[in-house]
Structure 1
C-alpha cells in the first residue's frame, strides 16, 4: 500500500491537512523499487499479517485493564466476593501478560520479516548500482566525483532502505492502530473520544513541520560533514607535502575554522531537534488531561459506567501518540527516499557509451589495424588522434614514441575499447572492434597503465588480480620476470605484505613492476605497456625488457615510452606528433634517418654517458 493512501485512511476526518501534505509525497521515482517489492512479496505479505496480529494483541491490554478496574469497583460495592474478585483479577492479569508476550513475540517476527526484506532490497539495489557503474565508460568517471558516486551507492541507498523497511513497517502499525482504536473509542464513549483526539492532529502537524526543518538542517550538517571529510582526506593524502612546506599551522587554522562552522550548524540542528519530544509529551499530557477531566465529569454524571473507561482511554491515547508523532517522520522518510532514489535513477538511466553488441565469445589472435582513426576527448574537446592509420600483425612487438600529448596512451585505450573512435575504424583480427565480444577482447588484453594502481591488499593478491586461480609458484615466477621478487622478499611478510591505499607502501618503481607482474601472470594475447618503466633505472629496465621479450613471444605487444631504450628491441617503432604518425620503421631504420627519433636517441645516449 502506498504511504500516501495510508495517510488518507488514517486521517479521514483531517482531510484538509492530508490534501496539503500528501501532494509533497511524489512516488514516481520510487516506482523503481516495485520490481523488488514484487520479488519479495511473499515475505512482505507475511510481515504485514504479523504486524497486524502484533498490534491486535496490543489492544487486549486496555480493555482488560478496564475490566480489572471494574472488578475492583464491584468488590468495593460488595457485588462480588473477595475470592471471585481475586480469581477474575488473576485471570485478567494472565490475559494481559500473555497478550503482551505474544505481541512482543510477533513484533520480533515483524522486524525479522519487513526489516529483513528492506535489507534484501538494499543489497539488490547496491548490486544494481554497482553493476551499472562497471558498465559506464571512462567519460562518466571523468565527469563525476568519486565521493558523489560513493554517496549514491551508500547513503542514498540507505535512505531508500528506510522507506522500504521502517517506513513501511511503521506505516502499517499506524494504519492498524488507527483503524482499530478510533472506532473502539467512539463506540465506547463518543464525546470522550472526540476530546481525547483533539490534540493528536495538532501534534502530527507540528511534528511534520519540525521534521521538515530538522531534515533541512540535518542535510546541511551532512553536506558539511562531506566537506570536512574531503578536507581531512586530502590532508592525510598530502601530509608529506604539508610537512615539506611547513604548512601545519595553516592547516590547523583551516581545520579549526571548519570545525567551528560545523559546530554552529550542528547546534542549529540540535536547537530544533530539542522541540520534538517536549512537544510530544505536552500534547500527550493535554490529551490525558482531557480524558481525565471530561471522563471524570461523564462518570459523575453517569454517562460512562466505570472509572475503568477513563483508564482504558488513557492507554488508547498513549498507544496512538507515537503513531501520530511519526506521521511527520514517515513523510520525511518518503521525501528523503524520493530524493535519494531520484539521484540513484539519474545514474541508472545513464546509458553506457561502450556497448557490448555481441553475446557469443570471440577468440582474439592479436592483429591490430587503425584505419583513418580520429579521436576527440569529450570532456576537454582535445583531438588526440588525427586520421591515424597503421597495422600491427599478431605476435609483433611495436614501440610507440612521441612527446607528451602526442596521443600514445590514447591508442592503448582505444585498443582495449575503453573509448570508441570519433571517426575511422579499428580492426582486431580484421574484424571491426565493435563487432567483438567486449569481455573476450578485454580478457585477451594485459594492460599496465602509466600510473600503476594497486589495491589495499596483499602483494600476492595484487599480482593474482590478473589470474585469480594462479598458484604461488606462478606468482613468484611473474614477480621474477618483472624484477620485483627480491624487493618483495625484503619485506617482513614477503608476498603477504598488505599494501597501503593505492599501494603507497611501495616506491614508484616497485608499483610499476608489481603491475607488470600482474600482466605477465595473466598471459594475454595482447600486451599494452603504457610508459610502465619510467620509474625504474636503466639497468633494471634492460632486464625487464629482456624478460618481456621472452614472455611476449607470439603475443602482440604495444610499448608506449619516452625512452628509445624501450624501443630498441621492438620489431617496429611508431613515432607520433600531435596525434599524427610522424615516423615508422625499425630502430635501425629510424636511427639512420634524420628526424625526431634519431635526435631523441642521440640526446638520451648523451644523457646516459654523461
Structure 2
C-alpha cells in the first residue's frame, strides 16, 4: 500500500470530486438501509391484523421511518401496505440517483487521474538519458504506461468506490441491527472475523503473483514489439517458426501464472458466498428460535429486517475480495511505475543554466569516455579544436569512436574525463534544450515518424523562423530528394509509414538530412548519413552541402573519404585516439591509416565498376 501514496497528489487535485463521491455513496446507502425498516413495519402491520402479540419496536427505527410510520398510522388496512410499497420504490429510486452521481464523481475522477498519470510518465520518459533507453526494453516502457496505469486506475476508481460503499453500508447496517437486537447481531456477524483472516492470507498471495505477472507481461510485450519491428529480418532468415516458439514459450509462462492468480482469486467469491449464507442461516435459525419462544422479544419483523440486511451486505462483503485484489494489483503496478518515476536522468540541466547563442567554435579538451552500460573505452585523450565555420571530417574504422563524438557534442552523455566547450562555454553549464535546439544532427540510424514527409522534414522548425512548405521544399532540394518527393502521389503529404518503412534506405537518409537542414542552425553534425545513396546522388548532395554549409560549422562523421568536399581538416580516429590530422593531400603524403583507407576505397570502387 505504501507505493500507492504516490497517488495522493492526484487525490488532492481532484479532492472536490472525491469528497462529493464519498457523500453520494453515504447518502445512497442511507436510503438503502431504510428499506428493511419499512419492510419490518409492514410485518408489524400484518401481525397486528392477525392479533399476534409483538414487541414495540418503533423506537428503534430511523427518524425518517418514524415520520413515515406516524403518517401511515392514520390509514388502515390495505392502504398502509400500498403506502409502504410506494415508499420502498421511492427509496430505491433515490438511491439509484445518488449511485449515478457517485459514479459520475469517483469513476470520472479515476479517468482524470489516469490521463494525468500517463502524461506524468511520458513526460518523465522524455527527460531520461540515452543510457536509460539502452538498458530498458521498449516493451517494458510501454507496459508500464499502459497496463500498469490501467490497473492503478482500477484502484483510484472502482476499488475506492467499492471500499467506501463497503464501509458505509456495513456501518449503517450494523448500527441499525445493533439498535434493533444486539444479541442477534452478534450471532449473525460471527463469521466476519473468519472472513477477515481469509482476505489477509489470500491478499498476500495475490500481491506476489501480481508482481510476477506484470514482469512476465513486460517480457511478452517486448518480444512482440521486437518481432513486429524486425519482421523483415525474421522473414528473410526464415525464422517465423522459431520466433513463434519463443513467443509461445513466454506466453505459456504468462498464461500459467495468470491462471494460478485467477485460481487464487477464485477462492474469494465462494468464501464470501459461504460466509454470507452462513450468516443468513444463523439469522433465520437463531431469530426463528427466539421468535417461537419469545414472540414479544424477537418479532417476525425483526427477523425479516435482519435477513434483508444480510442479503444487502452480500455484494459489498463479496466485493471485499475483488476490491482487495484490485488494490494489491494496483500497488504492484504503482511500484513498477515508481521505479521509473524515481529514476533521475544522468544528464540534466545545471542549477544556473546559461543559454548562449552558439556561433560554432568547438573544443574537445583531453576527453576520455567510457560507456557506462558496457564499460567500453570509446575515446582516450581526445583533443580537437574546431573554429567557427570550419568543415571537419572525422574518419575511422567501425568502433573507432566517431559516433561518440557526436553523442558528447549533443550531451547525450558527459565525458568521463575532460570537457567539451562551445564558444568557450562548457556544455555542462548550458541549458540542455537550448544546446540541442542550436545543433542539427543526422544520426547514423535514420528514424522517421509515422507521419507525412513534410512533417518529418519540419519536425524541428528553425528558431524564430516561420514554418511553411517552402522551408520543407528548400531543405529537400539541398538533400537531393525533392524530385523523388514530387513523383509521389501525395507529394509532401505522403505518409511514410512506421519508421519510414514505405521508403528506400537512401530516401530515408536524405529526408533525415533535409530535416537537419530545415532547422537551419549554426552547427551541423552528419553521422555517416550517405551510406545508403549511390555515387551520383552522393556527389549531388555534397555539392549542395558545400553551398549550404558556407558560413556554418560542420562535422561530417564517415567511414568513406569524400574527395569532392573541401574540408578544412580531416581527423583520423583509431581505437578512440586521433592518429592523423590534416588535409586530404597532407594525409596521403603521410602514407598512414588515411592513405590505407583511401586505397581500400578506390579498390572497392574499381571492383564495383
TM-score, reference length from structure 2: 0.88
Going from structure 1 to structure 2, the CA distance change for 1:401 and 1:153 (only over 3 Å counts) comes to same
Q: Deviations over 1:406-428 (max 9, x none)?
A: 11111111111111111112111
* Paired residues of 2:214 and 2:333 also in contact (CA < 8 A): no
After superposing the two structures, state which structure 1 stretch, 207-216 or 515-524, moved more: 207-216
Deviation at 1:245, TM superposition (A): 3.6
Structure 2 distance, partners of 1:377, 1:269, is 41
Aligned match for 2:492, one of 485, 492, 495? 495
Aligned match for 1:465, one of 440, 456, 459? 459
The residue that corresponds to 1:381 in the other structure is 375
Deviation at 1:262, TM superposition (A): 5.5
* Paired residues of 2:364 and 2:384 also in contact (CA < 8 A): yes
Deviation at 1:263, TM superposition (A): 5.3
Q: Deviations over 1:386-444 (max 9, x none)?
A: 11112112222111111112111111111111111111121111111122222211100
The residue that corresponds to 2:58 in the other structure is none
Deviation at 1:173, TM superposition (A): 1.5
Going from structure 1 to structure 2, the CA distance change for 1:303 and 1:465 (only over 3 Å counts) comes to farther
Deviation at 1:603, TM superposition (A): 2.7
The residue that corresponds to 1:308 in the other structure is 301
Structure 1 distance, partners of 2:12, 2:481, is 53
Going from structure 1 to structure 2, the CA distance change for 1:43 and 1:139 (only over 3 Å counts) comes to same
Local SS of the residue matching 1:386: strand
Structure 2 distance, partners of 1:538, 1:98, is 85
Structure 1 distance, partners of 2:544, 2:154, is 56
Aligned match for 2:422, one of 409, 428, 435? 428
The residue that corresponds to 2:555 in the other structure is 558
> Are 2:501 and 1:508 aligned?
no
After superposing the two structures, state which structure 1 stretch, 50-59 or 84-93, moved more: 84-93
The residue that corresponds to 2:479 in the other structure is 482
The residue that corresponds to 1:125 in the other structure is 117
The residue that corresponds to 2:313 in the other structure is 320
Structure 2 distance, partners of 1:379, 1:256, is 30
TM-score, reference length from structure 1: 0.88
Deviation at 1:530, TM superposition (A): 0.4
Deviation at 1:149, TM superposition (A): 2.3
The residue that corresponds to 2:171 in the other structure is 179
> Are 2:389 and 1:395 aligned?
yes
The residue that corresponds to 1:442 in the other structure is 436
Aligned match for 1:372, one of 366, 372, 393? 366
After superposing the two structures, state which structure 1 stretch, 29-38 or 224-233, moved more: 224-233
Deviation at 1:254, TM superposition (A): 5.1
Structure 1 distance, partners of 2:368, 2:256, is 54
Structure 2 distance, partners of 1:436, 1:254, is 46
Going from structure 1 to structure 2, the CA distance change for 1:248 and 1:172 (only over 3 Å counts) comes to closer
Going from structure 1 to structure 2, the CA distance change for 1:225 and 1:388 (only over 3 Å counts) comes to closer
**Aligned-residue CA RMSD (Å):** 2.8
> Are 2:425 and 1:451 aligned?
no
Task: Return 5+ residue gaps in structure 2 as ranges.
Answer: 54-71
The residue that corresponds to 2:131 in the other structure is 139
The residue that corresponds to 1:243 in the other structure is 235
Going from structure 1 to structure 2, the CA distance change for 1:41 and 1:233 (only over 3 Å counts) comes to closer
Structure 2 distance, partners of 1:351, 1:566, is 45
* Paired residues of 1:211 and 1:329 also in contact (CA < 8 A): no
After superposing the two structures, state which structure 1 stretch, 343-352 or 437-446, moved more: 343-352
Deviation at 1:70, TM superposition (A): 2.7
Going from structure 1 to structure 2, the CA distance change for 1:511 and 1:246 (only over 3 Å counts) comes to same
Deviation at 1:107, TM superposition (A): 1.6
The residue that corresponds to 1:72 in the other structure is 46
* Paired residues of 1:400 and 1:559 also in contact (CA < 8 A): yes
* Paired residues of 1:205 and 1:328 also in contact (CA < 8 A): no
Q: Size of the alignment, in residue pairs?
A: 584
> Are 2:187 and 1:195 aligned?
yes
Matches within 5 A, 1:322-341: 322-341=315-334
Structure 2 distance, partners of 1:330, 1:273, is 11
Task: Return 5+ residue gaps in structure 1 as ranges.
Answer: 1-25
Local SS of the residue matching 1:524: coil
The residue that corresponds to 1:17 in the other structure is none
The residue that corresponds to 2:601 in the other structure is 604
Local SS of the residue matching 2:418: strand
Going from structure 1 to structure 2, the CA distance change for 1:595 and 1:263 (only over 3 Å counts) comes to closer
The residue that corresponds to 1:284 in the other structure is 276
